Structure formats: structure tokens, C-alpha cells
Amino acid sequence: MTVPTDGFGSGFNFAEPAVLTMNWTQASVPLATAVTLIMLAVWIGLAGLLRRWRAGVPFAAVATAFGAGVAAVSLVAVTQMTSHVSRTSSSNAQAASALIQAGTLRPGDRVAIASSLAWYLWVPQAFEVTWTELEPFTPGSQPPPAGTTVVESGWPTGQPAQAGWPGAPAGWRIVAADQDAGWVVWRKG
């Protein structure tokens, strides 16, 4: 059984199984479990040897092997996670980057995020916008929070861009949109 990882922030949600299976495109539950159990058996075996040889040369050798093994596994894991998590080649990361750039946000802008906007688009932006918090709201059933100057909404499939914010108040205009990625940026004024 494998779990597709695209669209789920695989670098964050599936990093451990990906490191264990050496596969960053499918999270194989049986393989990750088997590797984990094998590693656990090795660690328990080494700990058992250390307990049996409490002093002397065998103890030092096994303790060194144990430490080297832990260090090697940690180094491999950190290297893999750092190289894969930091990549922005996924379609989600590219869409989020495009949204951030297209929004042309400026210090002082107050940004509201419509509930229809996919989380993988607005979460990276929460770290880019340092001067204010992104404020969620539900278009169609509530107005944006007071003082909002920019609204980012989803673009429903097969509908016009305006469908992401039905009944947008007068004075709001679309300044950027990407139908493939599913987002629309609105600005007041």
C-alpha cells in the first residue's frame, strides 16, 4: 500500500517515511514499517551487547559502533530532508510563489484569505507577510475583516474568477489570477 504525497506538503508530512524508504514520491507504509522495525532490532541488539559488555574493549567498540550508526542515520536523514524540503519545484510551491509575487503586497496591506483558497497557497505567504497576520473569512456569508486592503480567494474550477468571491463589494477589483493554480487576488480601490 502506498500513499500519494503530491499536494500534501510531502516534505513536511511524509519526511520520515520518505527518508526510511528513500522514496519522495510515494509513501509506502509497509516498507517504512519494515525498515523501522529492522532499525529498531539493530539498535536493541547493540544496546543488548553494550549491557552485556559493561567495561573493557568490547564495550568501547560496540559503544563506538552504536554512536557511529546513530550519527550516520541522523546525517542521512538530515541531508535528505534538507535537500527535499527546501526544493520549490513542486507545482504547489510554484503556485504559492506565483501568488506571493502576483499579489504585489506592500507593507501596510491587510490581507484576508478566503476559505476557498487552498492551504498550500496561503501558508507559505503567512511567513512572507511580516507586518500583519493573514485573516481568514468566508466569502458570500461574511464581509472581509475591517481594514482589509487585499483579498486572496480560490478560483473554482470551471467558473469565472469572480466566483471565488461571490458578491464582492463595490470598489474591489481583480489584480492577478491563475486559473491553473486556482487563485485570485483582489485589491480594494
Q: Which of these three, 67, 85, 103, is where a domain ends?
A: 85
Residue 41, pLDDT score:
93
Give 122-160 pLDDT, tens digit per residue.
777 777 777 778 888 988 888 888 998 888 888 888 899
Extract the C-alpha cell encoding 138: 468566508
Q: Which residue range(s) make up the domain with 167?
A: 91-188
In sequence order, the 6+-apart residues with CB closer than 8 A to the CB of 37 are none
Q: Which of these three, 85, 115, 139, is where a domain ends?
A: 85
Verify that 108 and 173 share a domain, yes or no: yes
Residue 7, pLDDT score:
47
SS3 2: strand
Residue 8, pLDDT score:
44
Which amino acid is present at 72? A
Verify that 167 and 144 share a domain, yes or no: yes
Residue 17, pLDDT score:
79
Number of domains in the chain: 2
- Per-residue H/E/C for 152-173: EEECCCCCCHHHHCCCCCCCEE
User: Residues 17-33, buried b or exposed e (16+ Cβ, 10 A)?
Assistant: bbbbbebbebbbeebbe
Verify that 150 and 96 share a domain, yes or no: yes
What string of pLDDT tens digits covers the 189 residues of the chain? 555 555 444 445 567 777 888 777 777 888 889 999 998 998 888 778 777 776 666 777 777 888 888 899 888 888 877 776 665 545 555 555 555 565 567 778 888 888 888 887 777 777 777 777 888 898 888 888 899 888 888 888 889 988 888 888 889 989 888 888 888 888 888
Verify that 128 and 157 share a domain, yes or no: yes
